[in-house]
Amino acid sequence: MSDLFIGEILGLLLFIPVLFRPFSRHLQAVNAIPVLPLFSFIIYLLIAAGSGMTLSFLPVFLFSLFMLLSGFPRLIRFFRKLPTDWYSLGAQIRTGFVLPFFACAVFCVFYFAPEAGYMPSAPVRRSVISERAGPGVTGRYVLWERDEDGNEELPEAGTADSDRIPEEGPQGVIIFFSDTASSAEGRSTMSLALAEKGFTVLSADFSGLQDYRSVVLSLADIRRFAALTGRIFFNKLPFTNDEEIFNAQYAAIRRMIQFAKKNYGETVPLFAIAEGSACIPLMQHIYDDPGIFTGSVCLMGAENEKELPEVPGGSVHITGETGMMPVAAAGYPVMILTAEKESLFGYGEIRCDDVLAAFFAGSGRDTDRKSALLTGRRIISWITMRRDQV
């Protein structure tokens, strides 16, 4: 059970006394009930700030906003120490109309609840480091690494443990470049599966006005949600164009390479995994500097595979999580892993983390993260073979 799901349930429970108060003399005698919608809305604001907005979370968030606004006059009366216990017949009728919407919000919370996170077989530490990544740009770097101390607890961002860079170099650093519709933690199952095998996984979200001219897109969480909804409903990211997206992601790749080399040295094996819109910028980096990565993986829908440029050394193409791995696959510097549209390559793990968005995108729930884990293990298999061969 995720923290997001628990928070949603807690917020909904606060609405029960509010919705039944017009019909109960006992509840009308409790003067502080008008404050509950404010508390619920604050909970949902904190959830949105901490976990980011998702389409699955949007219905309950909008319902909370409606309840806050509709109960605002009664809330003001409470703060002014005036009576709030009288309800007219019209108020009771209005509340009766709201109850079905409350039931819909409860249904959405349970039916579209995110899948439980993947539990690695070895202790894995997740670290978050925020630092300046360039003029006017802030990077939020997320590191997944095997915890040799055996501490399975994931530290909070900004603590001494969360800022720790391991003294001993990993057997390989894997940089994950997400699609604009995803985030640094959009492939958490894959990252955990790689980390439990001894790799360090690095990903990042960048905020600032240098990459995108639009103020709306300058914040990483807003950009991700805009890209997700824009792609699902309008088939494009609003307020930008393909050239600006390419340049922003090309710059993001360069910053993460610099971060990895600064913290892990020049000799550690460096791998790359790109998804969706990040694949073409990654291939351009490989074309510009063929030796920058020991091996690279591109995750994308089969319908977009033809858009990728050729790179020195060529690439091996594999279809789906269960497609045959060619014997000589590790001899190529790039593996292109494609799947049918229903797999939603390019959206991260929204089939696990944002089930409503997955439904709108034409797919469904990835129960128990089975598909996400198969994708991660397929990548592990190729990267391990590539590392051993090189």
C-alpha separations of 360 from 41, 181, 223, 356 in Å? 26, 14, 19, 6
DSSP conformation class of 318: E
Give pLDDT, residue 133. Answer: 93
The confidence score (pLDDT) of residue 165 equals 45
Dist. CA 287–CA 293, nearest whole Å: 11
- Distance CA(271)–CA(172), nearest Å, equals 7
Residue 183: closest CA among 227, 149, 218: 227
pLDDT at 163: 42
Residue keyed to tokens 């060619």:
326
Q: What is the mean pLDDT of residues 54-72?
A: 96
pLDDT above 90 (res 158): no
Q: How far apart are CA 124 and CA 192, in angstroms?
A: 7
Task: Answer for the pair 78, 84: CB distance below 8 angstroms, yes or no.
Answer: yes
The pLDDT value given to residue 156: 41
302 has a pLDDT exceeding 80: yes
The pLDDT score that the predictor gives to residue 161 is 41
Q: What letters, b where the CB count within 10 A reaches 16 and e where it falls short, cover 56-86?
A: bbbbbbebbeebbeebeebbeebeeeeebee
Residue with tokens 């070895």: 122
pLDDT of residue 305: 81
**How many Å separate Cα 173 from the centre of its chain?**
21
Whole-model pTM? 0.90
- Whether 109 has a pLDDT exceeding 50, the answer reads yes
Contact 250, 242 (CB under 8 A): no
Length of the chain: 390
- Other Cβ atoms less than 10 A from the Cβ of 89: the count is 8
Which pLDDT score is estimated for 153? 45
In order of their start, the domains of the chain are 3-111 (no CATH), 124-389 (3.40.50.1820)
